[in-house]
Amino acid sequence: MMYITRQHTISAAHRLFEYGGRCERLHGHNYKICLTLAAGSLNELGMVLDFGDVKKLLFSALDEAWDHKTLLFSKDPLLLALEPILQDGSLCSVPFNPTAENMAAYLATTFFPKLLRATGVDTQVCVHAVTVYETDNNCATWQRSAD
């Protein structure tokens, strides 16, 4: 297997629904997202995928979906309270409590694979790992299990 990794930064607000601690309050991070793609062999140009294509095809969609947005769990009552006030597209309902762990798992198992299929990228290219850094010191990683 050959692996490539590209990093990308987004800014977003979130809160941890029913957490009971400080992070239950609305707050923000400059998230660093590290995406590792894998392929069993290289393409005709000797690449897993061009790094520019990773940015253009995958991270531009992430920017559109989450950058400068407020990520709230779809079951969070704050989402319903804010919807009538914030009608500028800055609210983003996600199907999970927006922890770094859940964000990494969602990006790795749903968001990025769907984009890879939709953009017609070589079918042998797959998501191997996604790491979400909330801060320089705190991150969560989802990694594909060995087959």
Question: How do residues 50-105 score in pLDDT, each as one tens digit?
Answer: 999 999 888 999 999 999 999 999 999 999 999 999 889 999 999 999 999 999 99
Residue 54 token pair: 């990773």
Class of domain 2-143: alpha beta
Rounded to 5 degrees, what are φ and ψ at 21?
-120, -170
CA 93 to each of CA 33, 34, 40, 97, 145: distance values in angstroms, whole numbers, following the listed order: 19, 22, 35, 10, 28
In the structure, what pLDDT confidence band is assigned to residue 147 with cuts at 50, 70 and 90? low
Q: What is the pTM of this model?
A: 0.93
Parse the chain into domains and list their residue ranges.
2-143
Q: Which residues, 6 or more positions from 143, have their beta carbon under 8 angstroms from its beta carbon?
A: 128, 129
115-123 average pLDDT score: 81
Q: Is-contact 105 142, C-beta < 8 A? A: yes
Q: What is the pLDDT of residues 32-55, one digit of tens each?
A: 999 999 999 998 999 999 999 999
